[in-house]
Amino acid sequence: MTSINPESPLPSGSRATVSGKQEVRCAVRFPLSLPVVLATDSGEAPALTRNVSASGVLFSLEQALQVGMDVRFSMRMPHGVLGTPHDVLVHCTGRVVRCSKGHHEHLAAATIDEYRFAEQ
Beta-bridged to residue 71, according to DSSP, are: 94
Q: Mind listing the pLDDT tens digit of every residue in the chain (120 residues)? A: 333 333 333 333 433 334 444 444 567 888 999 999 999 999 999 999 999 998 999 999 999 999 999 999 999 999 988 889 999 999 999 999 999 998 899 999 999 999 999 976
Q: What's the confidence (pLDDT) of residue 3?
A: 35
The domain ranges of the chain are: 1-27, 31-117
36 vs 89: CA distance, rounded Å: 11
Q: What's the confidence (pLDDT) of residue 70?
A: 98
Q: What's the confidence (pLDDT) of residue 16?
A: 37
CATH of 31-117, one of 2.40.10.220, 3.30.565.10, 3.40.1830.10, 3.60.20.10: 2.40.10.220
Q: What's the confidence (pLDDT) of residue 27?
A: 75
Q: What's the confidence (pLDDT) of residue 26?
A: 64
